[in-house]
Amino acid sequence: MRVGPAIVLSALLLAGCLGGERTFPDESDQVQKLRVNAYALPGAPSPRPAIIEITGLGSDGQERAFRGHLSIVLDARPDGSQADAARVRTWELDVFPTQFASTTVAMYKITVDPGNIPADGNYSASATASIQGNVFNASASFAYTRA
């Protein structure tokens, strides 16, 4: 039996619509900013992991995958302020565009095991990216609950 091109194309499009992850090209030269998003994974069984998402942004505000070095810091902020921050975890990573995978946008994701998060409370995730000789910083605060 011969399968027509329209059927093959339809199957590929359907696979993409069903949430298959895709990878993104190296757009290091287009990165103008860094964005960090952090949150407790919704709907996960207790204790929930935390998620830290990092992406480069182009001058058009669109997400960009990049090649470079990432320094990521997770701090506990008991009263939500910078003054009482307590270091929880750090990562030093060399990242590549092939690691920026998701269903829709170029995003590097770290899953923080709940065993590495000391308690419910306020946290911040900060990232510094060194990309083609340029340094970009960004951070995000989030409230974490195990349940």
93-134 per-position pLDDT tens digit: 999 999 998 888 999 999 999 999 999 999 999 999 999 999
The pLDDT score that the predictor gives to residue 80 is 63
37-90 per-position pLDDT tens digit: 999 999 999 999 999 999 999 999 999 999 999 999 999 997 766 677 899 999
Q: Residue 11 carries which DSSP code?
A: H
12-29 per-position pLDDT tens digit: 444 444 456 778 999 999
% of the chain with per-residue pLDDT over 70: 84
The pLDDT score that the predictor gives to residue 81 is 65
The pLDDT score that the predictor gives to residue 10 is 43
Asked if residues 65 and 26 have their Cβ atoms less than 8 Å apart, the reply is yes
Asked if residues 97 and 64 have their Cβ atoms less than 8 Å apart, the reply is no
The pLDDT score that the predictor gives to residue 101 is 85
**Protein fold of 23-144:** Immunoglobulin-like (2.60.40)
Three-class secondary structure of residue 41 per DSSP: coil
